[in-house]
Chain A
């Protein structure tokens, strides 16, 4: 499903990813854990195509197609979704307007017809309800004045509507209280399917109590330095990252 081979990337001449390799199979949830500055968020941005990062070597294949050769919007239409750690505020653009623009832009790229407005509204309302998002919020400009929890739920709503092949959650648990965390995790779990893969980036094991990973990967200094089952996350919670920081150095 998602295969990353020997990925090297830098920003402003500073090397962040140093030959990273990983594979996530369809139907799997892989969790990436690691200390601050290990390059976790960079990895998510590089996969999504943020322009200020420069990829100097390697490949990112989604179902065998190299994402690195595509513009970010083309990657999204090809089925990649990134839930941002810090979702951007889009002043003046009503959430509904934005959602519709995004869904139709992807449909257009894939050569599909635009969604009829009543179908779209029905779809959004149903998904919003599941994520306990007040319909009034959908009329407000996207993320403007939303709380941290509301922004993260809005990311999951977008993921549910865009129904990607592969989802990356970049520290979706940061800034969430336990109730919001459960709602977000349920939203993600509802999207798990044998055809879909996820990469869950997190600092803490707590999120993984609710979104059960198939594999846990430890990242340090721009590389995956250890992989294991869910028990690895519990181990890390106890012992911290110090062993891995040393190992990669």
Chain B
């Protein structure tokens, strides 16, 4: 006998179902995606991949969907000088806010979302009505960085779903920048970026999300062909709940992925970076390095899982998460994991959580640098060690300044 226990829907889940019904006449893929979401519901602590981040608890209701009639929008922040801006206003590509596409980059028809086991990404696939698909022609190096700018229009708190897919052809090279502005809502924002890298393709991805008081889930899915190279860096700050989740599959031999990030949390903010890297072929290299600074009663999460499939021999994987807690009430949850089914691999992981070193602070003080400035100097250096490793040096000043601004406002808060 099969016993099926059905859990009553939360108000937010019921609201999402009603909103989806009201959209009507959708294609089979979107209906299937919603069915997948509906079966799992909003993730909570009992879902292992979401153990430290209770989205169900953070979403009391389903906010109204962002409509077609967008309010005024601000300009995207300039992360990289000279970037080509591709703007999505409330999840929809807006040529009026965008620059002309550079050579070798084309908008193309959607080829359908990548399969996912994550219910929040399935929800994105169900609701993202205007997916944008960019294609970088094989063998072409795009000189100009492409800045995917999510612009959220002013107005009432709303729910917003955006999906962007980028296919980087074999041997092509591109730098993608991703940001969101207009986050003060509180909104409910669900962004997805799907990258497909052909053999020998190279992609540098630089993301900046300051979630303010909103709930933001940002998903990066990537599939790498043989010898393909992906370097992704993200700066995360703020957020009633901010989660960046990454699903990377090294499908071809000799793929190389680097996932780095800095998380800055204060007050009651909750910031989560969770990732799964699957080595599915041999000779792949993966590096995940994260730095988290938490103040107040903020919570930080790092969950990293590297899976080495049986045929992925000679895999080289290293993962490290370091967190600094500036207050007794801040909490960091670190969970690095390795799942190895091949026998000839080199994999390692590490995680640290601690306060700033009092001896270093005294040393600075003995040179005349007062405690708040000394802390600022040490914390800036802690984040800059990752920022300065960015392959696109033009993004370094912006990211470094993001940390400096956060540290400066920290002092304002303290006074």
Binding site for B on A (CB under 8 A): 48-52, 71-73, 76-77, 81-82, 84, 87-93, 97-98, 101-103, 105-106, 109, 141, 158, 162
Q: B381 contacts A105, CB within 8 Å?
A: no
Closest 3 CB pairs of A and B: A92-B381, A72-B365, A106-B368
B50 lies within 8 A of chain A by Cβ: no
On whether A102 and B368 interact (CB within 8 A), knowing A87-B363, A90-B363, the answer reads yes
Q: Which residues of A contact B382 (CB under 8 A)?
A: 91-92
On whether A105 and B363 interact (CB within 8 A), knowing A91-B385, A92-B382, A98-B377, the answer reads no
Name which residue of chain A comes closest to B365, CB basis: A72
Instruction: Pick from A50, A98, A109, A141: contact of B362, CB below 8 A.
Output: A50
**B: interface residue count bin:** 20 to 34
Interchain Cβ contacts under 8 Å between A and B, 18 examples: A50-B362, A71-B365, A71-B371, A72-B366, A76-B366, A77-B368, A81-B366, A88-B363, A91-B385, A92-B382, A98-B377, A101-B377, A102-B364, A102-B367, A105-B369, A105-B370, A105-B373, A141-B381
Q: Which residues of A contact B384 (CB under 8 A)?
A: 92
Docked Cα-Cα span, A77 to B369, in Å, equals 9
Q: B381 contacts A72, CB within 8 Å?
A: no
Q: Which residues of B contact A50 (CB under 8 A)?
A: 362
A205 to chain B, nearest CB (A): 27
Q: A84 contacts B370, CB within 8 Å?
A: no
Docked Cα-Cα span, A90 to B385, in Å, equals 12
Q: Which residues of B contact A82 (CB under 8 A)?
A: 366
Q: B367 contacts A158, CB within 8 Å?
A: yes
Q: Which residues of B contact A102 (CB under 8 A)?
A: 364, 367-369
Q: Which residues of B contact A49 (CB under 8 A)?
A: 362, 365-366
Name which residue of chain B comes closest to A87, CB basis: B363
A92 to chain B, nearest CB (A): 3
B358 lies within 8 A of chain A by Cβ: yes
Q: Which of A77, A93, A106 lies at the interface centre, i.e. has the most chain B CB atoms within 10 A of its CB? A: A93
A142 to chain B, nearest CB (A): 9
B12 to chain A, nearest CB (A): 42
Q: Which of A103, A105, A158 lies at the interface centre, i.e. has the most chain B CB atoms within 10 A of its CB? A: A105
Q: Which residues of A contact B385 (CB under 8 A)?
A: 91-92
Q: A90 contacts B360, CB within 8 Å?
A: yes
Name which residue of chain B comes closest to A80, CB basis: B366
Docked Cα-Cα span, A91 to B267, in Å, equals 27
Binding site for A on B (CB under 8 A): 357-360, 362-371, 373, 377-378, 380-382, 384-385
A76 to chain B, nearest CB (A): 4
Q: A72 contacts B362, CB within 8 Å?
A: yes
Q: Which residues of A contact B362 (CB under 8 A)?
A: 49-51, 72
Name which residue of chain B comes closest to A141, CB basis: B381
Docked Cα-Cα span, A203 to B40, in Å, equals 71
Name which residue of chain B comes closest to A110, CB basis: B368
On whether A93 and B378 interact (CB within 8 A), knowing A51-B358, A88-B363, the answer reads yes
Q: A93 contacts B363, CB within 8 Å?
A: no
Q: B370 contacts A71, CB within 8 Å?
A: yes
Q: Which residues of B contact A141 (CB under 8 A)?
A: 381
On whether A90 and B368 interact (CB within 8 A), knowing A50-B362, A101-B373, the answer reads no
Q: Which residues of A contact B359 (CB under 8 A)?
A: 88
Q: Which residues of A contact B373 (CB under 8 A)?
A: 101, 105
Docked Cα-Cα span, A109 to B373, in Å, equals 13
Q: Which residues of B contact A72 (CB under 8 A)?
A: 362, 365-366
Docked Cα-Cα span, A52 to B368, in Å, equals 18
Docked Cα-Cα span, A9 to B326, in Å, equals 29
Q: Which residues of B contact A89 (CB under 8 A)?
A: 360
Name which residue of chain A comes closest to B360, CB basis: A88
B332 to chain A, nearest CB (A): 19
Q: B369 contacts A101, CB within 8 Å?
A: yes
Q: B365 contacts A76, CB within 8 Å?
A: yes
Q: Which residues of B contact A52 (CB under 8 A)?
A: 358
Instruction: Pick from A71, A92, A97, A162: contact of B367, CB below 8 A.
Output: A162
Q: A73 contacts B381, CB within 8 Å?
A: no
A169 to chain B, nearest CB (A): 13
Q: Which residues of B contact A105 (CB under 8 A)?
A: 367-370, 373
Q: Which of B357, B368, B370 lies at the interface centre, i.e. has the most chain A CB atoms within 10 A of its CB? A: B368
Q: Which residues of A contact B378 (CB under 8 A)?
A: 90, 92-93
Q: B381 contacts A90, CB within 8 Å?
A: yes
Q: Which residues of B contact A81 (CB under 8 A)?
A: 366
B241 to chain A, nearest CB (A): 30
Q: Which residues of A contact B360 (CB under 8 A)?
A: 88-90
Name which residue of chain A comes closest to B357, CB basis: A88
A106 to chain B, nearest CB (A): 4
Docked Cα-Cα span, A137 to B294, in Å, equals 32
Q: B368 contacts A84, CB within 8 Å?
A: no
Q: Which residues of B contact A84 (CB under 8 A)?
A: 363, 366
Docked Cα-Cα span, A240 to B365, in Å, equals 36
Name which residue of chain B comes closest to A106, CB basis: B368
Instruction: Pick from B358, B366, B381: contact of A91, CB below 8 A.
Output: B381
